[in-house]
Amino acid sequence: MPTRDPSQPQRILRIAEQSGLDDSNVEPYGWFAGKLSANLHRDLHDRPQGKLIGVTAINPTPFGEGKTVVSIGLAMGLARRRKRSIVTLRQPSLAPVFGIKGGGAGGGRSCLLPPDEINFHFTGDLHAIAAANNLLAAMLDNHCRRGLTPRLEAESISWRRSIDISDKGLAEIETGLNDVQQAPRRRTGFDLTAASEVMSVLALAEDLSDLRSRLGRIVVARSSEGEFITAEEIRAAGAMAALLRNAIRPNLVQTSENTPALVHAGPFANISHGNSSVIADLTALRLAEYVVTESGFGSDLGAEKLFNIKCRTKGLVPSAEVLVCTIRALKYHSGRFSVRPGRPLPGAMLVEDLEAVREGFANVRGHLAHLRQYGMPVVVAVNRFPTDTLAELQLVRELAVEAGADRVAVTEAFSQGGEGSLELADAVIDACSGTSQFKPLYPLELSLEEKITQIATRVYGADGVEYSEGVREQLSDYAARGYSNLPVCVAKTQYSLSHDAKRPGMPSGFLFPVREVKLSAGAGFILVMAEGITLMPGLPREPAAYRIDINAAGEIVDAGS
């Protein structure tokens, strides 16, 4: 199969035909994207189910290490091996598009088409999620101010507003300043849309009915007697579901080699569960032999939540996991180099340094130790950059095998597309030849504190957990109200296995600090916030937005080139 010109996408109905779908299954949103029909995964129940391949990474540098590129390349490589494949990805948020990392549709010869449409607005799903989130906030304020039943006090309201732009100035605000009848004066704030519980609900719901039910269970405040008040009780869930009735349908697009891709939902892994939707995976598993699904950031975040939160939702069983690393990230984890967001990598990181690679490999070793606890094969994928030397690549191969990787492959998806991903595709096919013995990290019967301890010690390498004042009492309250059987979703930095972004490699000898916990009853987990984490990031000194412009034809261009 020749590498196609990435500027030449095919009409979306032609892409649908490759998977045995017709125009009754796909509603075109323009020429190159489409919404799948509602409940398609159920309509395809008589088709055999494919294999689910997770793609995760080590802790990245602030620039990211090309995990999306590797995921797309793997799906294209599998297609070149005559395997029906689909990649399922999260929808990019405008926050990183305009912030540090830039777009989230891959790059080079391993990207989604059309990338600009996917990065900017797309089919409007994220706007619908923000609208539903903020409708709930407005109805809640109105309910409180008018003294409706159930009665609640303004200070008991826990629900916040959301926006899909990094705007640190909105993190803490005061509303109702003009003393109107529709809103009480109170302190609140905005979170990123990717952190909204509505985003998590959409990503974990199995159909529209389940979505509606989960929205109703969202806890938004407490009554004067201390009882939880839900979105259902203030009569907001129905209207929220109406806003999301199309957003719950997965989006069909294509890769740069015109193979199918599903892009749906966009929770971040450092502040939420970090995975694309359950519906997208359930549908893809009926359409393809191999489904490649990417989890956000490192295995300590996105993959841990894929296994312990998302897979539990509908009994998903991964057949293998791919762990992406880069030579430059290993050098970063050696602790020898200073990397600053928004600034170029130090020149010393771009020359051969076997000792730095060896020292930084400790981070890979930590992630392999984590992943091997789930009972399935782990393939290490080295995403090659032009500055990597053969000696550095060979050293990583040797170290990965010694550390317990089942297979190791070098991938050059960015420069060669599917052709550069054949070694990885073959490794994955081989790894999937046996039967997966997948099991979650912890049983749901454990107490909430025990679950947090399991993740802190067995994933992050901590000696234990340290709780801020009042957190243990909050966990006890959740347990007393019947929420002890929920999994936990930890929000922490993506740059370290620990909670501290300044501790690269494989940190040890620390207690994991839990600052706050929140009940996400609609999503179905307890959000556990580490010290230093925020749900509303800020822009860097030189945001990526500086480099974005349009030309005379209305096309989005790189203003820095």
Residues 388 and 497 in one domain: no
The boundaries of the domain holding residue 51 are 43-87+261-431
Contacts of 16 (CB under 8 A, 6+ apart): 22, 23, 25, 26, 34, 252, 260
Ranges under pLDDT 70 in the chain = 1-7, 341-342, 560-561
Q: How far is CA 277 from CA 6, 202, 555, in A?
A: 26, 7, 30
Domain count, the chain: 3
- Tokens standing for residue 65: 């290490």
Q: Is residue 246 part of a domain?
A: no
Confidence (pTM): 0.95
Same domain, 319 and 417: yes
Same domain, 266 and 359: yes
Mark whether 266 and 399 lie in a shared domain: yes
Same domain, 418 and 484: no
Same domain, 454 and 427: no
366 and 285 share one domain = yes
Tokens of 230: 């839900």
Please give the pLDDT value at position 1: 33
CATH number of the domain bearing residue 409: 3.40.50.300
Which of 202, 321, 256 is CA-nearest to residue 77? 256
Residues 302 and 412 in one domain: yes
**What confidence score (pLDDT) does residue 332 get?**
94
91-145 pLDDT, tens digit each: 999 988 898 777 889 999 999 999 999 999 899 999 999 999 999 999 999 999 9
Residue 184 lies in a domain: yes
**Torsion on CA atoms 42, 43, 48, 54, rounded to nearest 10:** -50
Residue 10, classed as helix, strand or coil, is: coil
CATH number for the domain including 465?
A: 3.10.410.10
Structure confidence at residue 405 (pLDDT): 98
Residue 2 confidence (pLDDT):
36
CA 53 to chain centre: 15
Assess whether 338 and 481 both reside in one domain: no
* Three-state DSSP string of 416-443: HCCHHHHHHHHHHHHHCCCCCCCCCCCC
The whole-number pLDDT of residue 101 equals: 72
Only one residue has tokens 């509602």, namely 38
CATH number at residue 169: 3.30.1510.10
Same-domain status, 225 and 359: no
Q: Is residue 256 in some structural domain? A: no
Q: What are 24-50's pLDDT values in tens digits?
A: 999 999 999 999 999 999 999 999 999
Instruction: Please identify, among 373, 399, 431, the residue that sits at the C-terminal boundary of a domain.
Output: 431
- Do 265 and 407 reside in the same domain of the chain? yes
Which residue, 379, 398, 431, sits at the end of a domain? 431
Residues 184 and 143 in one domain: yes
